Chains A and B, each alone.
Chain A
Amino acid sequence: MRNGVLNKVIAMFWRLVRGALFRQKRKMLMIAFTVALGASLATAMLNVMLDVGDKVNRELKTYGANINVIPKEASLLDDLYGVSEGRGVSDRHLRESELGRLKTIFWAFNIVDFTPYLNAEARMSGLDEAVRVVGTWFAHREDLPTGESLDTGMRNMKSWWSIEGDWLSDGDTDAAMVGGLLADRAGLAAGDAVVLESAGARRELTVKGIFEAGSAEDERIYVPLSVAQEMTGRPGLVSSVEVSALTTPDNELSRRAAQNPKSLSVKEWETWYCTAYVSAICYQIEEVLTDAVAKPIRQVAESEGTILEKTKLLMLLITILSLAGAALGISNLVTAGVMERSREIGLLKAIGAGNAPVSWLILTEILITGAVGGAAGYFAGLGFAQIIGRTVFDAAINIKPMVIPLVAILVFLVILAGCIPSIRLLLSLRPAEVLHGR
């Protein structure tokens, strides 16, 4: 019996809501569309924001290594005189054969890429001063002690270099890549031959590619590691290694550890060691490479964090603005709708409907419309998220289910906010005035 009554009440309420929805089809469509727009942007931004930590990190790693590994003595000179790695000053080297061990450290999974460098000085045909020749891996397959293998090298680490011509491969022992600035000075173009002379040895190489890195590298010549080892007579040796690792942002603990690991308690030390702080990863690298010093490249490591934060802030801003825009749009549409229906609303009030029931009626209509728009917007937003992921971060965005309740709540709040002006109008609406056409 009670059920029957409830059903009748609901049926009547639904009849009123549905009537209004269908009568104002165009306006409701506009409201749904507005909500969809806001919801889709919020969905896209939230999904990207929540998933982007790794993505941005992976993207930023392409803007350079974040750890530099050099031999101990070289490091000492560096510290004392500010002489950077090698410069031919140091005889000390790292061993190429040990590099695979980088993928055996505790945070092996976070080591994304690494590439060795062997520096040499040489005279180049057509130029007076000596040039820096760097031997490296381009696309190297390293067999790891674990039995797996890893493809790494310059092509991964310097993927943003713009190349005229082609990347070298590690088998191109009679070819070189020349930095843009150096190529300009020497008048070289891709396909030209270049002669390098060092320690009496002479080598003729074909310029396979000319690159723009936008940094000091543009003054250098890159050759396969084996070529540089041969030129310098240092088989199996490298001057330094650049490592690209995913790291956890520094905090108080990691800063203390970086200053002096011995100042930590055993427990703190364990926490630090088992967290992917850049200092912990450096420490672990030093553990596996003989006489090596690993140092974070500060600026890059820090800018990663700030860029990520700024990207997130920007997305948050876009989300807030788009939702505020949606609320404004809704408030205009709903207010116009209430004005159009003032006679109907006045009538409901005249026959005894209180302010609350009439407000609920309007709100229900808008919430239903908004829910439809919100759902459509959510799915559109998933699409947007993928487009952003593809174009900006070069990766698919993982859909986070927690975005659904978040967007639902946001849409709900936006609709409430959007309905405030019309509800105020509705409350001030006096039946005597609208019903007699005054």
Chain B
Amino acid sequence: MYLLDLQGVSKIYGSVKALQGIDLTVARGEWLAIMGPSGSGKTTMMNIIGCMDKPSEGKVLLGGVDISAESARNLTTVRREKIGLIFQQFHLINYLTALENVMVAQYYHSMPDEQEALQALARVGLSDRAKHLPAQLSGGEQQRVCIARALINYPMLVLADEPTGNLDEANEGIVIDIFRKLHDEGSTIIVVTHDPEVAEEAQRTVILEHGRIARIVENRKGGQEAKV
């Protein structure tokens, strides 16, 4: 059984067909990249997979369960329990420390646990920045806090929409390393990116054009460690 199974998914905004008849499966533990020109529907697809939006047509099976017809309330629950979200603009709460930003996700999921949150920060190499406010962190550090927050509740699926779009090369490298580690540990990851180097790290790259899948590329390098 696939972890994620899109069947004929379309999304139409008035006259704009943001997505048209997408069929795609993602296996558990797979690392998938999505590329495509601006406006090709990448974010739209991520929103639908991430339970933040519903398709106009088609089915979305997440862990075998059809989420395409769920109520907003149930989608919130699915999002909370199964999805970890990473954004291009980080979206940290600026009056909370790095640690507290991670704990907010715990708070709305189950209960805040400072030790666990500290461990999550340690995994992204930010143990010593736990008490810092977002404004006191570099962009790369903020994105790592965001990743720690996305991972804190052990999501079934990690979704990252241009996670390195606002980062320099050094920080991009750090983030990719973290994803690699996650992949090694068995996480399922979908990353939207404009950067071919980032996409190469994934096992497969889906290329979107005008809301359709133009082609899917198997990456030679991507996910090698995991296959061993």
Contact = CB atoms under 8 A, between A and B. Distances in A.
Contacts of B77: 352, 354
Contact of B93 (A22, A344, A357, A437): A344
Contacts of B93: 16, 19, 344, 347
Contacts of A5: 111
A122 to B, nearest CB: 88
Nearest to A356: B73
A435 B81 CA distance: 20
Given A20-B95, A351-B149, A9 B112 contact: yes
Interface string A333-367: 00000000001100111111111010000000000
B112 A8 contact: yes
A436 interface: yes
B51 to A, nearest CB: 9
A5 B112 CA distance: 8
Contacts of B114: 8
Nearest to B108: A353
A310 interface: no
B43 to A, nearest CB: 6
B104 A16 contact: yes
Contacts of A262: none
A431 interface: yes
Given A19-B96, A351-B149, A352-B80, A437 B107 contact: no
What are the 4 A-B residue pairs with the smallest beta carbon separation, nearest first? A352-B80, A19-B95, A432-B52, A353-B108
B190 to A, nearest CB: 16
A298 interface: no
Contacts, number: 79
22 contacts: A5-B111, A8-B112, A9-B107, A12-B104, A15-B100, A16-B104, A22-B95, A347-B91, A348-B108, A350-B85, A351-B85, A352-B79, A352-B80, A353-B76, A355-B73, A430-B52, A430-B53, A431-B52, A432-B47, A435-B89, A436-B47, A437-B89
A185 interface: no
Q: Is the interface of A mostly helix, strand, loop or mixed?
A: helix
A349 B75 CA distance: 11
Interface residues of A, number: 30
A353 B108 CA distance: 5
A409 B97 CA distance: 36
B221 interface: no
B61 to A, nearest CB: 20
Nearest to B100: A15
Interface string A205-218: 00000000000000
B103 interface: yes
Contact of B109 (A8, A20, A22, A352): A352
Contacts of A83: none
B95 A352 contact: no
Given A347-B91, A435-B91, 5 more contacts: A9-B107, A16-B104, A19-B96, A352-B108, A353-B80
A229 B127 CA distance: 105
B95 A348 contact: no
Interface string A1-45: 000010011011101100110110000000000000000000000
Contacts of B126: none
Contacts of A437: 89
B225 to A, nearest CB: 29
A350 B85 CA distance: 8
Contacts of A8: 111-114
A290 B91 CA distance: 93
